Structure 1
Amino acid sequence: MTDFALDDLDRGIMRELELDGRRAFREIGRNLGTSEATVRARVKRLQDQNILRIIAFADPASLGRTQLGIVFLEVEPDQHEAVVEAVSALPEVTYVSTILGRADLCVEVLSNDNNALWTILNERIGRLPGVRRMETTTVLKVHKLRYQSPTGP
């Protein structure tokens, strides 16, 4: 994945950006005891290596999409990658991960309402070749949404 090892400065820059992705490189440099140019170069390198992405989260409720479903899929082993690609291509799917346990995939689906969620689950995801079983739960309220890398060794 990378041609280089991350050092303490790389990790520090990422921590600073996790706290505020719009933080100025000058401020990050000041906080970490390095120059703005060094921070800029490090961020570019981390982005070029696909280690770092700076993204924005919009509040789904403010956009009219208010039903969030978490779907656990059990898939045929030889169809795993095909199901991942097909589910990831759906515009209503916001998150896909391979997991261990009763299910093989965890999929987050954002829809306008329960009827739309039902349609997505039953007419699109559930009909995908390779999907054995589907278990769904709906999210009533999100209390925290944040990704932060571990700070340990």
Structure 2
Amino acid sequence: MGRILALDYGSKRTGIAITDELQLIASGLTTVATSELMDFLKKYIATEKVELVLVGEPKQKDGTHSNIEIEIQKFLKKFYKVFSDLEVKRVDERYTSKMAFQTMIDSGLKKKQRQNKALVDEISATIILQEYLYYG
């Protein structure tokens, strides 16, 4: 069984989370500059068995897509060319940033630490992955 990788794609940074090989536990992996995302994924997927990639689908409250969706579609076209054999699923990511921020508060992080946007992105990717594991 391969791992499931989740991406919280952003124009500047992308949060990344990964499961264990049994697909039971979701863990934050890292946050990378979006401009370096493809290089990171090429290296990571070459060394780890990944069978599914989840990409957050940002939507407004009314269900319409956010503006970043245009950039995500461009990224996905490049992704499919490089990783044509990998399955990709989209996952609704509404409210994951707010949930990530609340998680940081609940875990006792100081205000200065909660301002780390890279950590928020990584936690958001982990929430996307957790929700997929739970709800399918």
Q: TM-score of the superposition, structure 2-length normalised?
A: 0.28
Q: Which structure shows the higher helix fraction?
A: 2
**Larger relative contact order (CA 8 Å, sep ≥ 6):** 2
Structure with the higher fraction of residues in strand conformation: 2
TM-score of the superposed pair, with normalisation by structure 1: 0.26
Larger of the two Rg values belongs to structure: 1
